[in-house]
Amino acid sequence: MSEGALFAREGFDQTMARLSLAEYEAAISEEYAPLCLESGDAVLPFHSAVSSRPLGWMQLSKAYASSSFAGHRKSRSRSERSDDLVLTLVEEGRVTVTQHGRSTECVADTLFLQDCDSAMEAVQDGATGVLAFKMPKSILRTQFKNVDIGFGRAVKASDGCAGILRDLMVSIWRNCSSLQADEIRRLPSSVLNLVGLVFLSEGSVSSHSSAMAVHFERIEQAILLRIADPELSPAKIASELGISKSYLFAVANWGGRTFRRMVMEHRLDRCQQALCDPGEADRSITDIALGWGFQNVSHFSRCFVDRFGISPSAFRKQELQPLIQKQLLDFQGYKFTTHQEVHSCQ
């Protein structure tokens, strides 16, 4: 398969294809963590590609390099630390990685957990392609103890939970653009749970993680029940659930969002559903926004554009106009048929 066909098949952004070694180094450093690269093949030309997609509080990236290279990174100082880790799936080729005192050979179909703040050395042997998910270490630490023991480890993704994690990563990458907002919000937690099962030792599950999950669900359900209330506040929800505001904020952060963001996303979702509902076509955008708890229409419009990349009025026109036209054509066809039938009877 040609590189062009490979890039197209794997969903690479063509503007990021065929990068030089220096451009590849810059792209990798931005997507994952700073890494200095040196070419390991003086004969073959170096071609590469990098593409990335967001998934809630995770960042998905796919990278391909056509020939060998060596890379290294020093430990980052306290002021430079990013709180990130990278879960990498080697899809083809071979990479030898040294981190946290471990030197591991990662061949095709291998999962590797990388600490973005620690020193690392990597040697790629020939053409290699990887799929990587970057996520905050702090979120993993809320659910699992001894997170550091997973760094520098490589696991063969042939079966069991490792195979499930591999399949999930590949499927998410291929279907990311078609995921709904609620799916994007929930999928990162599924990936995170599998990371803990695959890389962390038995018994490492934090005792408070299950309680956090229960309270997160309770908070979300309480928000949904009162989402139309413009006076909805953390204090109201915390009082109703019998928890403190500080614990409510901690649980929301555990779930990867703030309380304010949870409320905003649910309100925007409800408004989006109303705007594309033919049954609500006679309601004004202002009425819909106020009906779902927004107090300022201009603020609602800005938030809607930030979330969906289109204004509320343009979205409504885009969604409803084809439906209205279809209904009109159906109606005209019905009237024409009826007229013909009546004429025939005469």
Asked if 222 and 164 sit in the same domain, the reply is no
| Residue 344 belongs to some domain of the structure | no
| Residue 331 belongs to some domain of the structure | no
CB of 85 closer than 8 Å to CB of 106? no
Strands (E), the chain: 36-39, 48-55, 58-65, 69-73, 84-92, 94-99, 102-107, 110-115, 120-124, 128-136, 154-156
| Residue 329 belongs to some domain of the structure | no
| Residue 335 belongs to some domain of the structure | no
Asked if 182 and 241 sit in the same domain, the reply is no
Residues 297, 298, 301, 306, CA torsion sign: negative
Asked if 155 and 295 sit in the same domain, the reply is no
- State how far the Cα of 230 lies from the Cα of 262, in Å rounded to an integer: 14
pTM over 0.75: no
DSSP string of 166-213?
Answer: HHHHHHHHHHGGG--HHHHHHHHHHHHHHHHHHHS-TT-B-TTHHHHH
Asked if 191 and 221 sit in the same domain, the reply is no
**What is the domain range of residue 294?**
209-322
Q: What is the pLDDT along the chain (346 residues), one digit of tens a residue?
A: 444 444 444 555 544 456 888 888 898 888 887 889 988 776 777 888 999 999 888 899 999 998 888 988 887 666 667 778 899 999 999 999 888 777 888 899 999 988 888 888 889 988 999 999 998 887 777 666 667 777 877 889 987 889 999 999 999 999 988 988 878 888 888 898 888 888 875 444 444 455 677 788 889 889 999 999 999 999 999 999 888 888 898 888 877 778 999 999 999 999 998 998 888 888 999 999 999 999 999 999 999 999 899 999 999 988 887 765 555 555 455 444 444 443 443 4
* Domain limit, last residue, from 150, 171, 199: 199
| Residue 341 belongs to some domain of the structure | no
Asked if 176 and 280 sit in the same domain, the reply is no
- State how far the Cα of 5 lies from the Cα of 7, in Å rounded to an integer: 5
| Residue 340 belongs to some domain of the structure | no
- State how far the Cα of 344 lies from the Cα of 281, in Å rounded to an integer: 38
CB of 146 closer than 8 Å to CB of 201? yes
For the chain, the domain total comes to 2
Sheet holding 94-99, edge to edge: 36-39, 69-73, 120-124, 94-99, 102-107
* Domain limit, last residue, from 147, 178, 199: 199
Neighbours of 177 (CB within 10 A): 8
* Domain limit, last residue, from 199, 223, 250: 199
Asked if 127 and 231 sit in the same domain, the reply is no
